[in-house]
Each structure stands twice: as C-alpha cells, then as structure tokens.
Homo-oligomer: A and B are copies of this chain.
Amino acid sequence: MDGDRITTLSTPVMVVDVDVVKRNAERMRGHWTKLGVTLRPHMKTHKTLECGDIMTGGSRSCIVVSTLAEAGFYADHGYDDILYAYSVPFDKVERCALLAERLSLFQVLLDHRDALEQLRKRPLTDGRVWHVWLKLDCDNGRAGVLHSEPEALRLAQAISESEGVELTGVYAHCGNTYGCRGAEQIHAVARETTTLVLQFMEKLKAVGISCKSSIGSTPSCSQPISDMAKLSEVHPGNYVFFDVQQSVIGSCGLEDVAVRVLSRVIGHSPHRNQLLLDCGWSALSLDGAGKLPTGYAVIEGHPDLRLLSMTQEHGRVEPLSGQLDYSRYPLGTLLTIIPYHACATAMMHSVYYVHSGGRLVGMWTPTRGW
C-alpha cells in the first residue's frame, strides 16, 4: 500500500500529513529551545508511538500522558520520564506504583490531600519515592486546587514533607486559552497563568520549597510570551496535529493542520438541498457542536459548503447559500474534511493513514482505554 495515493483509500478514513507533523514538532521545539525551557510534549492527541518519536525527537523521554493506558503503552515501548498528568485516581494507585518501580522516572499529579494519603499508603520499593506534581488551577477552570486558596500552599508543604514522596513540580493547564481569539488574547491568558504560577513558586520559596513549574495548552505554547522562559517546562500536545479550532483560536493557520478525514459523497437529497457524505460522527466526532460558519468542520477547497449535521454514519452537507449544483458533486466524489478538534476525531479511528505529499508512507495505531 505504501506509495499509493491517499485518494485510493476506502472512506471514511483519517489521514495524517507526516511532513506537517514534523514541521509542527520542529517549530514547537524551536520556541522552547530558544527560551531555554524543557518541552514535555503531551501524547493525548494521537497516542501513537510514531508520533511520540517525532515529538520527542527520537529520545523517547520526557512526555506527558492523559491516561494510564498511554503511560503503560509508552513504557512498554522504551519510553521513560513519563508524567501521568491526571489527578491520580484511587483505583489506579497500584498500577501507578508498578510503573514508578519499573521506570527510571514516572511522575504523578494530584490536587487533593486524600490523594496524597493514597500514595503514602503505598510506599514504593527499593528506596524509590513518588514524584508528585501539584496541579494548580490558575483560574483555568479545569482540575487543580485554586492558586489563591491557602490550601494550595499547605498541600504543597504536605507533599514535600511526606515520607516517600517528593514535590517535583507545580503544574497548570491554561485551558481557558480555548476561549481566545487571536494572539493578543492568548498572550493575556498565558501571561496571567505564568504570573500566577511564578507567584506561587515565590510563595513556595518563602517556605523553603523549590521545585519545577510547568504550564501547558497548545495555544499558549504556540504563541509563547517571554515570561514563560522563567518556567521549567511546558506541556502542549495538540500542536502536532492542530485543527480548525486551533486556527480559530489563533494558535496556527489552517495550512498547519496535519489531519484530514477523507470522505465520499454517497447521496443527493435535492428535496432538502443537501449532499450526504459517508462521514458521520463515528468518523469525525460531534466536537464543536457545529458552531463554525461551516458547521462541524471545514470542507477543504469548498468554503461554500457547510457540514450541517451528522448521524452515526452520515454527514449532511448544504450550501452556505443558494441551491446546490449536484453536477459538481456526483456520487463517489471525494471530499476532504479538516476536523474541528483533532483529539476528538483521532479518538474515533483505530488506525491513522500517514502520507507525504499525498502518497501513503505508513499507518499509525493508537493505544486506547484507560
């Protein structure tokens, strides 16, 4: 199959442009090398070995994951220095412990005293310690203890004072950049989160604690501000694929989006002025809620079309205005869909077809589960 044109693939199918992936990875590495900050790429968007290798420059080291299944998958393939950046779930402490005892560096994250207690109840063998990041909510609206709560500092102290546990760092995710439109707004959120994290680091220093700091989100890391040079690490992930959402936010241009869903016209519905595609939510996801001017996605090369709605295996397409000219879209016509949210679209596929310049060069198989 290698060397075949992607247009010969059976649809729907997710394709990845490996050249764009590499360019995105290099650009992100460039930003952080220049600022002297460690880039710890997040694997959650693609969950594949091959893309992890591109993001880590082949080092197979220093990554973030969102599920313990990912952690195990990467560990099984020789990755190390893995941060499981998810409030350590009580039903998974034992599996975390086994990874921590097996890798040279496996790091966990928490935002609650009860989670610390769970770790303390499961001391690691061979004199190892739990490497723990404290998740801080810097008005980002996701997980974490609120930066301004006295409990944040007290919890950091409790971690650093616990036997068998080490406070490795403070971790924030500026998920509120997802509401931004344009670089200026992204910079404002990045600046606010960075400032709050650095202020918290000062508070820690005042009580004699020093550790790392990390912030993430593809928007803030794609449009870095100079203050971020004071952080130890950053942890973006989506940037390797990008998507329409990121282009709307201002993290990238549409030309930086590495993924597409290829789809074919399988129906004409002149009584509704619609085309039917073989791409439903089972191939694209419902992410974005259809709120783009072009609906649930962008149909490449057809700015006049809107992906109006989807059922499990069908997409309904209508013109932005006027009557569809069906002669332009005979049954079988290939349409290329740029996903709204690459993480969500990738989750719908058991395999990604990888190409360079439209010619297949391989297949990537993501890990799944938790």
Residues of A within 8 A of B (CB): 10-13, 44, 66-67, 86-87, 89-92, 111-112, 114-115, 137, 141-143, 146, 149, 175, 264, 266-269, 271-272, 276, 278, 281-283, 285-287, 289, 311-314, 330-332, 343-344, 347-348, 350-351, 368-370
Contact = CB atoms under 8 A, between A and B. Distances in A.
A348 B264 CA distance: 23
Contacts of A313: 44, 66-67, 86
A369 B13 CA distance: 9
Q: Which 6 A-B pairs give the minimum distances between C-beta atoms?
A: A90-B332, A146-B271, A286-B286, A87-B266, A114-B331, A350-B368
A5 to B, nearest CB: 13
A314 B87 CA distance: 10
A140 to B, nearest CB: 11
Contact of A89 (B264, B281, B351): B264
B332 A91 contact: yes
B91 A264 contact: yes
Contact of A330 (B114, B141, B267): B114
A16 B13 CA distance: 29
Contacts of A149: 271
A216 to B, nearest CB: 13
B286 A137 contact: no
Contacts of A311: 142, 175
Given A13-B370, A44-B313, A87-B276, 20 more contacts: A11-B89, A67-B313, A86-B313, A90-B332, A114-B330, A114-B331, A137-B269, A137-B271, A142-B314, A143-B266, A281-B287, A282-B347, A283-B370, A285-B285, A285-B286, A286-B286, A286-B287, A286-B289, A289-B289, A350-B368
Nearest to A67: B313
A25 to B, nearest CB: 20
Contacts of A87: 266-267, 276
